[in-house]
Chain A
Amino acid sequence: MVKLPPMDYAAIMPLLILFGAACLGVLIEAFVPRRARNITQLLFSLAAVIAAMVFVVKRAGNVTAANAITAGGAITIDKAALFLQGSLLVLAFVSLLIFGERTLEQGGAFVAQAAVTVGSEKDKEQAAKSLGSTEVYPLALFSLAGMLLFVAANDLLTMFVALEVFSLPLYLLCALARRKRLLSQEAALKYFLLGAYASAFFLFGVALVYGYAKAVDFASIHTAAAVGAGNITLLITGLGLLAIGLLFKVAAAPFHVWTPDVYQGAPTPVTAFMAACTKAAAFGGLIRVLYVGFDGLGWQFTPVLGAIAALTVMVGAVLAVTQTDLKRLLAYSSVANAGYLLIGVLAGGQLGLQSVLFYLVAYGLTVIAAFALITLVRDADGEATHLSRWAGLGARSPLFAGIFTFLLLAFAGIPLTSGFMAKLSVFGAAVDGGQTWLVIFGVISSIILAFPYLRVVVMMWLSEPGESTPSVSLPGVLTSTALGVGTIATLVLGVAPGLLLDLADKAAAFIR
């Protein structure tokens, strides 16, 4: 007789809530009348995220080494997992607000029927007046639930399932843009093909690691690696393949190639969600694999991953210099930021872990605010993301240009912004961990990257607004809330980072 392994329902409650809410969301799609769907789905998803958050917070109080591993050893709800889950929920909450915005454009940022041929009569009709799809909410919830599982997975197979669960809805979400639909569909297809390709690497890695350790759970892998018996080549190759799968998701060079195309093509709310949440989830998984599973290798992989980090920061920064589209620019900036995060990961130890956790939250909130602002600058054809269109925006609407300037300064890591504190903690941890050479690359990259940011700032403030400068739409209450939360968090985390740093410090503890 197969029996249900002991389940700690209090620990996995957030996961259950999100999966359940996503399923219910599908039913809402089926039964709630079209007009009421958006508001119902939005409120329902937000409520689900809040409920999950409540359980995460409740759990954070009484997590111990003894009760962390549950569900038959498939899931570890330790402090790091809880911190990541909490961060993911907060970031997703803010992104969902942008998903729900309907005042900027009739029907929102998503197309009602993605299958309608682009440019056909029917397409023109639906672009003009259809209500837009609301499947995005259950899709986002599925994806979010997958991310929560991903950062808490205790074995490689659970991790792989979670990876697929959070990736598949994202591929779909990317295809749903209301404007520039061909670009959006192309992006989704590329993301799907390359994502599947990367998943194959990951899965092959799992197989090889199993071949070595005869198990897929992290504790056994750790023990086997520490003993070091048998053919270690198998383990190393397995780790390499796993790393490729994960580095694809975090957008590290040379596995970053999809990032600019997908970030540009996806509907901007989805881009915000991906830039903040996918990055957090992928790094959550990566640190768990490296710190928990392969710690036994004695960090022999540091030089190779270090080279990738160095390459990533340089490629992201250098390519950002010649970008002319804001979403692409932010995509390359996101690549470079993945590199900075990787530097923090390789710093190792408590300090490295703390800096990465802090960085993920700080960067996530800033990037959501930045994309939220991009949704506001629009003309008759939707968002105007070409850099030249932003010329003279400072004269048109100083408030929004000011906020965007502030956010760009945060990306550039100017003091009094969260970006500065985040970079400081990551680089500090790396110097502490003996990885000074990576910090040198990081600093050079930051300097290069400051140039494209400042170019946008100069463009907005010092150019005369031209005929083609679009106006900034007044955001609805949802987008303004998201924008406000992101901006204020960027400021607060820059001025008084102590609270979150302490929290990250306490959370920087894995249980094997």
Chain B
Amino acid sequence: MLSNLWLLIAIPAASAAVLLLAGRKADRWGHWLGVLAPAASFVLGLIAFFGLRDLPGRAAEQTLWTFFKSGDMTIDFGLLFDPLTAVFVLLITGVGSLIHLYAVGYMAHDEGRRRFFGYFNLFVAAMLLLVLGNNYVMLYLGWEGVGLASYLLISFWYNRPSAATAGKKAFLMNRVGDAGFAIAIFLMLAQLGTVNYNQVFSQVGALTTGTVLVLGLLLLLGACGKSGQFPLQAWLPDAMEGPTPVSALIHAATMVTAGVYLIARSNPIFSANSTLQLIVVSVGALTLLMGCIIGAAKDDIKRVLAWSTVSQIGYMFLGVGLGGGAYALAIIHLLAHGFFKANMFLGAGSVMHGMQDQVDIRRFGGLAKYMKITWLTFMMGWLAIIGLPPLSGFFTKEPIIAAAFEQHDAWKSWVFGGAALLGAGLTAFYMTRLFVLTFHGPKRWTDGQHPHESPAVMWIPLVLLAIGSVVAGGLMASPVAKWLEPPLPAAPAEEVHGVLGHTAITVLSLVLTVLGAGLAWALFRRGTALEPQPAGPVVRAARANLYTDAFNEAVFEKPGSWLTRALVYVDNKGIDGVVNGLAALVGGGSGRLRRLQTGFVRSYALSMLAGGVLVLGALLAVRLG
């Protein structure tokens, strides 16, 4: 299998092609093909994964063909399968297959189900390309591919204006990040002449500090765009306009973690500059708090989960920013998050399925009795994310918080450790609020609701993901960390003692978690008002996404539209005038020349003769003149 890695990508890609090209004929069986493709890739991924164990160096690299070549620059279409890639492949195809299965049920009544599965498989193929490439151009290809799939799926219900707008918003904000990433690739080519991971990493030492900083910042910009991190976080919650399986797979479990992958993959670059690491850590800490605060004020079940995703990825950025052994911690948290967040999104989808697409948690309540399986599985996700032992969140989030405290500078320990700790408490609060308002307390349904459990095709993936949410963290925490080095750096041998001991941190975070959860339980046990209530400035700010959208509008959108209008004016008056003039000139010339094409052989022959005389004359003139 390790010599045929391309199959991993080719299977879902081929399936996507079949689904998108086959037309209505494939409507009857298309969705099953769509499920089968990622499942097949998963099996192949497993085989490759086990094959990796015995491989010297634990990495399989292969070049399929030369992608392009210009002068002494060569970019290969090459694949790399190493431990980091392996865990991503298994996450994408494993969780992906379950979500595909779920979508068979979820999309059963949608006319565009085949199209949906086509895009969905396209996404899987692009995401696999992203993690399997052995150079940054391959990564970029996959990066743009998932961006495209994400855009198509967010605006899947394209006749809803809000979905179409959300798709455009995601696309545009991603472009900002992608531009950064693209410039980073150009910089690599300019400075190092290569984009191959190994060659780039081995030459990082030769670069100046400034270059590394710029390169890292550009990559970080790309990562922030894709992963919904500050300042490019605004698109992710809006992306929930897409069907729920999309939110689960793309905007929770896999695509949005591509930024974390990018930074983890580029660890030699990021580890080479401490300023860079500080910036990554700051972005992570800031975003994780923002996500918690905004998430606590939202009433739309999917948006709460989306802000929670933003916040959890903040934890991962915190991890990869800390460097050293924390890279692996971030990846493990990413895997565990993939399970429990996908579980909760699908749970939310199941709730919406039973409640006629209602998304407002003020209109739920008391659903535990009617949707037992959804309730139980969601509970596992909830307990996992707030980090209650022995569920997976505890094993993966706790070490990141501890790592944030283990720093040489006391102020850094307090600032970043404190933020992570506070985030844990806030997470417990808003997730409990979500859980309680949805499943417990009095019924606050709109009229005519008959909640019911979803069909087996939907709850089987839920159960499997719930099991994953429970056990994944505990099982993976230490073996996977070891498995991931290399390519990720090992934890330094000397231990850094932060301002607080391990035990103290664990106790503190558990206390904060219980406090947050308890407070939310006490506040929302009896339900909530059906309309937004007047609130203090903090809540108002949180409801308005901490005014980040307003900021974007004031700072980027308004001046942007002024600039556009000015440019349009210049374009209309100046450039168009020139262009239209030229076009008229060409058109007029064409019309006049056309008259020479009379259709008479005699005039054709004459023009040939004239041409011949000219040619001969010119040749002789050149020769003799």
Contacts and interface: CB of A to CB of B under 8 A. Distances in A.
Interface of A: 189-190, 193-194, 197-198, 201, 232-233, 236-237, 239-241, 243-244, 248, 253-255, 257-258, 260-261, 300-301, 303-304, 307-308, 315, 318-322, 448, 451, 496, 498
Contact of B605 (A193, A244, A300, A315): A193
B451 to A, nearest CB: 42
A300 B623 CA distance: 7
A322 B599 contact: no
Given A232-B623, A244-B615, A322 B605 contact: no
A243 B615 contact: yes
Given A232-B623, A236-B619, A258 B590 contact: no
Contact of B620 (A236, A308, A320): A236
Contacts of B611: 244, 253-255
Given A318-B590, A321-B590, A498-B66, A194 B619 contact: no
6 contacts: A194-B601, A233-B620, A236-B619, A244-B611, A253-B611, A260-B597
Interface in B610-625: 610-612, 614-616, 618-620, 622-624
Given A303-B622, A318-B590, A322-B590, A237 B599 contact: no
A311 to B, nearest CB: 9
Q: How large is the interface on B (under 10, 10 to 19, 20 to 34, 35 or more residues)?
A: 20 to 34
Contacts of A236: 619-620, 623
A228 B618 CA distance: 19
A148 to B, nearest CB: 27
B622 A240 contact: no
Contact of A194 (B66, B608, B612, B624): B608
Contact of B586 (A241, A254, A321, A498): A321
Contact of A301 (B587, B589, B590, B622): B622
Contact of A239 (B590, B594, B619, B624): B619
Given A193-B601, A194-B604, A244-B615, A319 B620 contact: no
A197 B608 contact: yes
Contacts of A451: 583, 586
A241 B612 contact: yes
Contacts of B583: 451
A260 to B, nearest CB: 6
B203 interface: no
B619 A240 contact: yes
Contacts of A241: 612, 616
Contacts of B615: 240, 243-244, 304, 308
Contacts of A498: 65-66, 69
B599 A261 contact: yes
Contacts of A319: 590, 593-594, 597
Contacts of B597: 257, 260-261, 319
Contacts of A197: 605, 608
Given A304-B615, A318-B589, A257 B623 contact: no
B601 A254 contact: no
A243 B615 CA distance: 9
B512 to A, nearest CB: 54
Contacts of A244: 608, 611-612, 615
B591 interface: yes
A201 B601 CA distance: 17
Contacts of B608: 194, 197-198, 244, 248, 254-255, 257
| Residue of A244, A253, A307, A308 ringed by the most chain B CB atoms within 10 A | A244
Nearest to B623: A236
B620 A237 contact: yes
